[in-house]
Amino acid sequence: MSFSETWPKKLAGLILTSSFLLIFLYLLKVNGIDQLRERVEVMGPLAPFGIFLLRSSSIIFPVFPSTAYSLLAGALLGFKKGLLVICLTDLISCSVSFWISRIYGRKLVGRLVGKNFMGKIEGLSKKHLENNFLLMVGFLMTGLFDFISYGIGLTKASWRKFFPALVLSIMISNPPIVALGAGVLDGGKKILIFSALGIIFLSILSSKLRRFQTLV
């Protein structure tokens, strides 16, 4: 499977998963989200930890889109707490992916993401991301951030360069998605407007970066 073939499929999966989740969240709002949130509060740290496990597994084993868990975190935990959980999860999981690549190399990464796709991601990372901090941040802000973390680990880019790029990308890309999950249930117009503008920005960024598919 080529890089250009995988991106549209991942984007389609992300849109489909997010759509189903938004419908689910809306139905929860209509049928009693308050009761569900009360149960989540009773669970204490188990609920955030459960979301952490779900999202981290979808990043380290990048099969299904992980965006749905950002929406779920915002809906069940609220914007502030949900954002904290998602940001910490991404920080830890993407760092793990980077170090898996750095320590174990192409053989193990190929098993996790697919050998053909790994070659494309590795080529993109070595040609365009390894020495370009801003471009590294940009790609880490897209739906391919999990694959990109593996790809950068296969390059000569240092941890000192990757980690700040990861932190910056997380700070920019996560708030709009978590806000959407929180805003759909809370009915907050301001947070929904912020979420919509952020998602539009991320969509434009993704479309601009797609031109690099032809360069790998």
Which pLDDT band, with edges at 50, 70 and 90, does 79 fall under? Answer: confident
Residue 71 has pLDDT above 50, yes or no: yes
Q: What is the pLDDT of residue 173?
A: 87
CA distance linking residue 76 with residue 144, whole number of Å = 25
Average pLDDT over residues 51-64: 86
Determine the pLDDT at residue 5. Answer: 45
Whole-angstrom Cα distance, residue 145 to residue 90?
9
Q: Span 61-90, mean pLDDT?
A: 86
pLDDT the model gives residue 78: 84
- Tell me phi and psi for residue 141, to 5 degrees: -90, -5
Which has the higher per-residue pLDDT, 71 or 91?
91
The C-alpha atoms of residue 50 and residue 182 are separated, in whole angstroms, by: 18
**Which of 16, 25, 46, 13 has its CA nearest to residue 146?**
13
The label of the residue with tokens 């914007």 reads 79
pLDDT in tens, 170-205: 998 898 888 887 776 555 556 656 666 666 666 666
What does the mean pLDDT of the chain come to? 78
**Neighbour tally for 117: CB within 10 Å:** 23
Q: How far is CA 78 from CA 25, 28, 84, 134, 161, in A?
A: 13, 14, 10, 31, 32
At a CB cut-off of 8 Å and minimum separation 6, what does 44 contact?
none
At residue 169, does pLDDT exceed 60? yes
Structure confidence at residue 89 (pLDDT): 96
Q: Can you give the pTM of this predicted structure?
A: 0.76
Q: What is the pLDDT of residues 37-56, one digit of tens each?
A: 677 777 778 888 989 998 99
Least confident piece of the model among 10-14, 68-72, 89-93 = 10-14
CA distance 85 to 144: 20
pLDDT in tens, 100-158: 999 998 888 888 887 777 777 888 888 888 888 888 988 898 878 888 999 999 999 99
- pLDDT of 186: 59
